[in-house]
Amino acid sequence: MSEPFGVRLRTQMERRGPLCVGIDPSPALLTAWGLDDSPAGLERFSFTVAEAVADVAAAVKPQSAFFERWGSRGVAVLERLIPALREAGALVVLDAKRGDIASTMAGYAEAYLEQGSPMAVDAMTVSPYLGFGSLAGTIATAHANDAGLFVLARTSNPEAALLQETVADQIFEGVAAANEGAAGLGSVGVVVGATLDKVGHPLDRLGGPVLSPGLGAQGASAAAVARLFSGVRHAVLPSVSRAVLGDPARIRSLTERYRDECVRHLRG
């Protein structure tokens, strides 16, 4: 790997447009596709989505929970999917939201960020709620491997606000410090939901990307994302899952539609 994640993400967003597509093989979606809720159904779903979007979306975000529910057989699908997506040209952001004490975080960092690991991804989501300092080693591993992190800061679900508002400043400040000295877009980003009315914290000194889930099924639009992040639009990666995943025949065209909307609103 030759360039830091933030630089690769910026290039990818400029070339393809700012959109991340989630791979969320939930039981409801497997059923909607007429697939068995089984590891075979999971594999069929995931690789169909990969084929439809890997060369269109700037990034693809597998939701680890829907693979983990099948134990080792589901994780084996994920282990095959990740390199297939990367070989097809997509940046892979694993949505695993890992967070633990520092010594345990080292295990997650080795699993997902050490390039050469069977599950190595371009970036992963992490939780800072065991203290931002618990992520220090993970941030160092990300930097050493040109990988990236997205730290939960203000998530898209309404019930998160009461807890997260109390500590969000610490998280934004920690992320800004982790990006100090980065040339171009830094590799440590935040997760801020597209569904929020306002962020409530200045993002202009963050120095890293903003992963913004909530487009489509959770009610947010590209126009709302552009309003929410008016000062830092260049760094925002909106993410959509269910709204493009309902019908295998329409995944690509819906992805292109969301991508075009994001380009229009975030670059306009």
Least spacing, CB of residue 183 vs ligand LLZGTKA7, in Å? 28
Q: What letter represents residue 105's amino acid? A: M
| 178 backbone dihedrals φ, ψ, rounded to 5° | -65, -25
Strand (E) or helix (H) holding 124? strand 123-126
Mark out the alpha helices in 55-209 (DSSP H runs): 64-68, 71-87, 102-112, 136-144, 161-178
Per rule CB under 6 A, count of chain residues that contact ligand LLZGTKA7 = 17
Q: Which of 97, 98, 154, 259 is flagged as catalytic?
A: 97
Which of 201/242 has CB closer to ligand LLZGTKA7? 242
Among 6, 99, 186, 213, binds ligand LLZGTKA7 (CB under 6 A): 213
Least spacing, CB of residue 22 vs ligand LLZGTKA7, in Å? 5
| 167 backbone dihedrals φ, ψ, rounded to 5° | -125, 0
Q: Give, as ranges, the residues between 157 and 196 that touch ligand LLZGTKA7 (CB under 6 A).
A: 191, 193
Least spacing, CB of residue 3 vs ligand LLZGTKA7, in Å? 26
Binding site for ligand LLZGTKA7 (CB under 6 A): 22, 24, 63, 95, 155-156, 191, 193, 213-214, 216-218, 239-242
Indicate which residues carry an active-site annotation: 97
